[in-house]
């Protein structure tokens, strides 16, 4: 029994432990190259394929896949849309979508191929609305007028915000992507930048039956990601509110409609990240100025702590050996060593007995009480003890902060 684990990031859910399900060996490309002769067919490039399965969401992917190997830019990915089952499925699908989008929709079809689906949608809407297709290797009739065709990749974050679609269609596209969930998450953040719902309709082959039948024909290079019902459902749920997920074509296809949206939690994190990021430059500006004023007063200053967060404090606020030459540390293993990146010698607290200081700065704020207890036990006294708090240097003893000082 093969017990080998693969520590690879799942493209659908991000989990990092997987197991081999099929070592397919080195096989030719199977769908993107439509050879014009026997010899051309025999020369189709081959690539190594090892399919592994995520132990969290059951997604299957070829972790050796490289997008650069597939000649998308000059060969169209032809999709067969004319079989009677397919037609039934597409008619059903259009009805399903019809209820959910406005009467004059903006529809974007990513990886539209020959744009037959988008064109027929535009016809159904009598060209009321906008129908925009993207495909770097699209095979669209240049004479058609029903849709706008862009021979380019769709940038999920930027272009969603730019076109503000009511509906994004991705039919048989995401199984070709190296990072499908990242793509969907970027669409969701793009859609979060304007005030109207954007639905994503996704359709991919479903490999649930591979496990019931043992068939191997599903595995070929151009489909690096192979969705199970579980992995597709989980991935869609991570991109917004799932409206519906259904199987089609006798279970061989899985389709889903999701209202793209980062969750409330994610939105809150995003807003807080913006606020924090903005505050960092203000904090650096303010504290540098406060340190400059303090140094100009020429009262002796020391920093307690010489490595890790204490060194980082000195780095962020650009403190040099000349600005504050005196650095103390409680840890005797550090005495006689030097502050990384700056160069002050780190000294023992007893150094302060012969060289008293006026102001002590403690970058490890949560340790300040312990440090002051240690200093007091040695008879050391400081006129001012400063910590960094909310973009300012504040007095630990008199000003408000969350750290314990009850034992002082
Ligand atoms: Zn997974």
pLDDT in tens, 280-326: 999 999 999 999 999 999 999 999 999 999 999 999 999 999 999 99
For 190, list phi and psi in degrees, rounded to 5.
Answer: -60, -45
pTM: 0.85
Q: How confident is the model at residue 141 (pLDDT cuts 50, 70, 90)?
A: confident
CA proximity to 176, closest of 341, 289, 29? 29
The per-residue pLDDT for range 49-62, each reduced to its tens digit, is 999 999 999 999 99
Q: In this structure, are residues 386 and 394 in contact, taking their beta carbons and an 8 Å threshold?
A: yes
Q: In this structure, are residues 107 and 101 in contact, taking their beta carbons and an 8 Å threshold?
A: yes
Crossing angle between the packed helical segments 84-98 and 116-124, to the nearest 10 degrees: 50
Rounded to the nearest whole angstrom, what is the distance from the C-alpha of residue 293 to the centroid of ligand 1? Answer: 54
Instruction: Give the mean model confidence (pLDDT) for residues 66-79.
Output: 66
Rounded to the nearest whole angstrom, what is the distance from the C-alpha of residue 232 to the centroid of ligand 1? Answer: 9
Pairing relationship of beta strands 301-304 and 327-328 according to DSSP bridges: parallel
Instruction: Give the mean model confidence (pLDDT) for residues 75-91.
Output: 64
Q: How confident is the model at residue 83 (pLDDT cuts 50, 70, 90)?
A: low
Rounded to the nearest whole angstrom, what is the distance from the C-alpha of residue 51 to the centroid of ligand 1? Answer: 13
Q: How confident is the model at residue 41 (pLDDT cuts 50, 70, 90)?
A: confident
Rounded to the nearest whole angstrom, what is the distance from the C-alpha of residue 60 to the centroid of ligand 1? Answer: 8
Rounded to the nearest whole angstrom, what is the distance from the C-alpha of residue 185 to the centroid of ligand 1? Answer: 15
Rounded to the nearest whole angstrom, what is the distance from the C-alpha of residue 294 to the centroid of ligand 1? Answer: 54
For residue 168, is pLDDT > 90?
Answer: yes
Return the CATH fold of 279-395: Rossmann fold (3.40.50)
Rounded to the nearest whole angstrom, what is the distance from the C-alpha of residue 248 to the centroid of ligand 1? Answer: 23
Rounded to the nearest whole angstrom, what is the distance from the C-alpha of residue 61 to the centroid of ligand 1? Answer: 10
Rounded to the nearest whole angstrom, what is the distance from the C-alpha of residue 180 to the centroid of ligand 1? Answer: 11
Q: In this structure, are residues 362 and 324 in contact, taking their beta carbons and an 8 Å threshold?
A: no
* CATH code linked to domain 84-266: 3.40.50.150
Rounded to the nearest whole angstrom, what is the distance from the C-alpha of residue 28 to the centroid of ligand 1? Answer: 27
For residue 76, is pLDDT > 60?
Answer: no
What are the residue ranges spanned by the domains of the chain?
Answer: 5-69, 84-266, 279-395
For residue 214, is pLDDT > 60?
Answer: yes
Rounded to the nearest whole angstrom, what is the distance from the C-alpha of residue 385 to the centroid of ligand 1? Answer: 50
Rounded to the nearest whole angstrom, what is the distance from the C-alpha of residue 85 to the centroid of ligand 1? Answer: 31
For residue 79, is pLDDT > 80?
Answer: no
Q: What is the distance, to the nearest Å, from the Cα of residue 359 to the centroid of all Cα atoms in its chain?
A: 44
Instruction: Give the mean model confidence (pLDDT) for residues 243-267.
Output: 93
Rounded to the nearest whole angstrom, what is the distance from the C-alpha of residue 234 to the centroid of ligand 1? Answer: 8
Site of tokens 């061989």: 252
Rounded to the nearest whole angstrom, what is the distance from the C-alpha of residue 203 to the centroid of ligand 1? Answer: 18
Q: In this structure, are residues 355 and 326 in contact, taking their beta carbons and an 8 Å threshold?
A: yes
Question: Both tokens of residue 260?
Answer: 């793209």
Rounded to the nearest whole angstrom, what is the distance from the C-alpha of residue 58 to the centroid of ligand 1? Answer: 6
In the prediction, which pLDDT does 71 show?
A: 73
Site of tokens 């991935």: 235
In the prediction, which pLDDT does 87 show?
A: 75
The per-residue pLDDT for range 318-375, each reduced to its tens digit, is 999 999 999 999 999 999 999 999 999 999 999 999 999 999 999 999 999 999 999 9
Instruction: Give the mean model confidence (pLDDT) for residues 249-273.
Output: 95
In the prediction, which pLDDT does 93 show?
A: 75
In the prediction, which pLDDT does 262 show?
A: 96
Q: How confident is the model at residue 88 (pLDDT cuts 50, 70, 90)?
A: confident
In the prediction, which pLDDT does 72 show?
A: 63
Which percentage of the chain shows pLDDT scores above 90?
Answer: 78
Q: How confident is the model at residue 69 (pLDDT cuts 50, 70, 90)?
A: confident
Domains 84-266 and 279-395 share a fold: yes
CA proximity to 385, closest of 317, 344, 405, 286? 405
Q: In this structure, are residues 62 and 21 in contact, taking their beta carbons and an 8 Å threshold?
A: no
Rounded to the nearest whole angstrom, what is the distance from the C-alpha of residue 262 to the centroid of ligand 1? Answer: 19
Instruction: Give the mean model confidence (pLDDT) for residues 206-215.
Output: 96
Instruction: Give the mean model confidence (pLDDT) for residues 30-57.
Output: 88
In the prediction, which pLDDT does 56 show?
A: 97
For residue 176, is pLDDT > 70?
Answer: yes
Mean pLDDT value across the chain:
92
Q: From CA 12, how far away is CA 329, in angstroms rounded?
A: 48
Q: How confident is the model at residue 139 (pLDDT cuts 50, 70, 90)?
A: confident
In the prediction, which pLDDT does 32 show?
A: 64
Rounded to the nearest whole angstrom, what is the distance from the C-alpha of residue 171 to the centroid of ligand 1? Answer: 21
For residue 81, is pLDDT > 70?
Answer: no
Q: From CA 288, how far away is CA 300, in angstroms rounded?
A: 17
């Amino acid at each position: 029994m093969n017990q080998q684990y693969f520590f690879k990031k799942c493209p659908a859910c991000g989990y990092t432990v997987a197991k081999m399900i099929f070592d397919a060996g080195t096989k030719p490309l199977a769908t993107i190259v439509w050879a014009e002769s026997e010899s051309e067919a025999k020369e189709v490039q081959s690539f190594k394929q090892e399919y592994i399965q995520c132990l969290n969401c059951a997604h299957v992917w070829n972790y050796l896949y490289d997008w650069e190997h597939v000649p998308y830019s000059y060969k169209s990915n032809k999709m067969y849309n004319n079989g009677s089952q397919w037609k039934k499925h597409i008619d059903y699908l259009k009805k399903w979508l019809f209820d959910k989008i406005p009467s004059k929709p903006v529809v974007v079809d990513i990886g539209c191929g020959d744009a037959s689906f988008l064109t027929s949608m535009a016809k159904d809407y009598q060209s009321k609305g906008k129908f925009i297709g993207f495909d770097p290797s699209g095979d669209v009739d240049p004479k058609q007028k029903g849709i706008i065709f862009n021979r380019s990749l769709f940038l999920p974050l930027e272009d969603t915000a730019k076109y503000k679609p009511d509906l994004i269609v991705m039919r048989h596209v995401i199984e070709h992507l190296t990072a499908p969930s990242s793509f969907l998450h970027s669409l969701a953040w793009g859609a979060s930048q304007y005030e109207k719902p954007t639905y994503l309709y996704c359709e991919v082959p479903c490999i649930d039956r591979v496990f019931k039948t043992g068939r191997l024909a599903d595995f070929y290079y151009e489909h690096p990601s192979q969705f199970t019902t579980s992995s597709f459902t989980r991935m869609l749920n991570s991109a917004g509110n799932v409206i519906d997920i259904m199987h089609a074509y006798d279970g061989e296809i899985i389709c889903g409609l999701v209202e793209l949206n980062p969750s409330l939690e994610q939105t809150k994190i995003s807003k807080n990240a913006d606020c924090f990021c903005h505050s960092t430059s203000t904090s650096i500006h303010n504290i540098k100025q406060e340190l400059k004023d303090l140094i100009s007063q020429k009262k002796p200053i020391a920093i307690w702590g010489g490595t890790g967060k204490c060194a980082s404090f000195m780095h962020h606020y650009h403190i040099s050996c000349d600005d504050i030459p005196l650095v103390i540390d409680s840890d005797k293993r550090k005495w006689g060593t030097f502050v990384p990146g700056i160069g002050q010698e780190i000294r023992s607290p007893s150094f302060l007995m012969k060289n008293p200081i006026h102001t002590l700065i403690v970058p490890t704020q949560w340790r300040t009480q312990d440090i002051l207890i240690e200093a007091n036990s040695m008879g050391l006294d400081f006129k001012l003890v400063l910590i960094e708090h909310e973009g300012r240097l504040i007095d630990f003893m008199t000003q408000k902060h969350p750290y314990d000082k009850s034992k002082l």
